[in-house]
A and B are shown apart, each in its own frame.
Chain A
Amino acid sequence: MEPNITLLLVSGFLIACGVYLLLERSLTRILMGILLASNGVNLLYPIIAGRAGLPAFIGLSAADRITDPLPQAMVLTSIVITLATTAFLLTMAYRAFQVNGHDEVQDDVEDAVIRRLALLDEASESYDAGVTHGEPGEEAGSDTHETTGAARPGDPREGDR
Chain B
Amino acid sequence: MSWLVPMPILLALFGAGLTLILGRRPMAQRAVSVSVLSAIVAVAGGLVYLADRDGPQVTWVAGWPAPQGISLVADRLSTVLLLVSSVICLLVLVFSLGQEEEQRRRETPISIYHPTFLALTAGVSNAFLTGDLFNLYVGFEILLFASFVLLTLGGTGDRIRAGTTYVVVSLVSSLLFLVALAAVYAATGTVNMALAGVRLAALPPEVQQVIHLLLITVFGIKAAVFPLSAWLPDSYPTAPAPVTAVFAGLLTKVGVYAIIRTQTVLFPEGALRVPMMVIGILTMVLGILGAIAQGEIKRILSFTLVSHIGYMIFGIALDSEAGLSAAIFYTVHHILVQTALFLVAGLIERRGGSTSLNELGGLASASPVLGALFLVPALNLAGIPPLSGFLGKVGLVRAGVGTHDWLAGVGVAAVLLTSLLSLFAVAKIWNRAFWQAMPLAENEDGKMVEAGLPLQPSMAVVAGMLVAVGLALTVFGGSMYGFTDRAAHDARHGDYITAVLPQGVR
A125 with B295: in contact, given A88-B167, A92-B152 (CB under 8 Å)?
Answer: yes
A134-B299 Cα distance, complex, nearest whole Å:
26
| Contact among A1, A27, A92, A100 with B186 in the assembled complex (CB-CB below 8 Å) | A1
Contact call B442/A133, Cβ cutoff below 8 A = yes
A117 CB → nearest B CB, Å: 9
* Chain A residues within 8 Å of B167, by CB: 88-89, 92
Which residue of chain A is the closest to B237 with respect to CB atoms? A110
Partner of A111, one of B156, B234, B357, B431: B234
Closest partner residue, chain A, to B296 (CB atom): A110
Report the bound CA distance from A110 to B171 in whole Å. 24
Dominant SS at the B interface? Answer: helix
Kindly specify which of B176-184, B216-224, B331-339 makes contact with the partner chain.
B176-184
B186: chain A residues within 8 A (beta carbon)? 1, 3, 47-48
- Is A6 an interface residue when CB atoms closer than 8 A count as contact? no
Residues of B within 8 A of A85 (CB): 171
B437: interface (CB < 8 Å)? yes
CB-contact partner of A44 in B148, B155, B179, B191, under 8 A: B179
Assembled-state Cα–Cα distance A22/B167 (Å): 12
Within 8 A of B (CB), among A20-74: 22, 27, 30, 34, 37-38, 41-42, 44-45, 47-48, 70-71, 74
Alpha-carbon gap, A111 to B162, bound state (A): 12
Name the residue in B145, B155, B168, B182 with the highest tally of chain A Cβ atoms < 10 Å from its Cβ.
Answer: B182
Nearest A-chain residue to B148, judged by Cβ: A88
**Bound CA–CA A90/B185 (angstroms):** 32
Nearest-Cβ distance from residue A159 to partner chain B, whole angstroms: 15
Q: Is A108's CB under 8 angstroms from B182's CB?
A: no
Sample of 21 A–B contacts (CB below 8 Å): A3-B186, A27-B164, A30-B168, A34-B171, A34-B172, A37-B175, A47-B186, A81-B174, A92-B164, A95-B152, A99-B155, A105-B165, A106-B164, A110-B296, A110-B299, A124-B293, A126-B358, A129-B432, A129-B439, A135-B437, A139-B436
Apart from the given pairs A130-B436, A133-B437, 13 other A-B contacts in the complex at a CB distance below 8 Å: A27-B164, A34-B168, A38-B178, A78-B178, A81-B141, A96-B160, A96-B164, A99-B157, A110-B296, A114-B293, A125-B358, A133-B441, A133-B442
